[in-house]
Amino acid sequence: MNFQEANNVLYKGYLYMLITMIAGMIAYFVLLFALLSSLLMPFPGRPSVNIFTVMAAVIGGGLALMVAALVIFFKFHFKGYMALHRLGIKWAWWMAWGPIIYAILAVAYLGAAVVFPNALLAMIATGIPSWAGMAGAMAVALPLVILQYLLLAFGIVLFVFKILFLNYMNKYTGLPLFRTSWIMYLVTVIILLIPYLNILAGVLGLIAYVIEMLSYKDASSWTPKAAPGQ
């Protein structure tokens, strides 16, 4: 896969991911609204709905979106970034493997978050907390805290690598959209730190995503003058 093909794959991946997430979220909330309406305001002749049906729809819809995102990521994003890595583009390896490592840490954190309350409840159920029970609860709580900080730290590291990657692509290709995208991402994170501006940060993040997507489209028709390492 050459430079243009790799960027075309990334453009398609970002486009398909955007379409899937928007369509999926719309369908998800429409279904959830319909189920909640049936649950809270039942009408004669309408199929009965209980809280378990709503919970199943929430979990099922979330899992469906996750599976769709994983398929798109591995089919397009991972393939495109690894192709750029093999061509010598700096930081592309982290763009391919970074989200996978982050997802593994997130799954481990969720697992610890499920185990810790159960261990704590088991200790409370015994009456007076024993040293062994407290030690067991702390043994589960410590990995939970460590994983939480690891997720935060690795998320920051991934963001820095993304900025470095987009900046390198801008220097290598001279295409201004790469520079615009990383600047927009940086502004988004800064706005996100300001209270009550989360919605604005979300809008700016979406704009940055679209600009990054279009930068790959531009790069798919750009001809490299020399190998990146030269």
Closest by Cα among 48, 32, 59, 3 to 219: 3
* Tokens 């185990």, located at residue: 115
Among the residue ranges 43-52, 111-120, 136-145, the one predicted with the least confidence is 43-52
Q: In angstroms, rounded to a whole number, what is the distance separating the alpha carbons of residues 38 and 140?
A: 40
Mean pLDDT across the chain, nearest whole number?
A: 84
Q: In angstroms, rounded to a whole number, what is the distance separating the alpha carbons of residues 124 and 108?
A: 25
Among the residue ranges 51-55, 129-133, 145-149, the one predicted with the least confidence is 129-133
Amino acid letter for position 192: L
What pLDDT, on the 0 to 100 scale, is given for residue 78? 97
What pLDDT, on the 0 to 100 scale, is given for residue 188? 92
What pLDDT, on the 0 to 100 scale, is given for residue 228? 56
Give me the sign of the Cα torsion angle 36, 58, 102, 145: positive
What pLDDT, on the 0 to 100 scale, is given for residue 230? 45
What pLDDT, on the 0 to 100 scale, is given for residue 28? 78
Q: In angstroms, rounded to a whole number, what is the distance separating the alpha carbons of residues 53 and 39?
A: 9
What pLDDT, on the 0 to 100 scale, is given for residue 126? 59
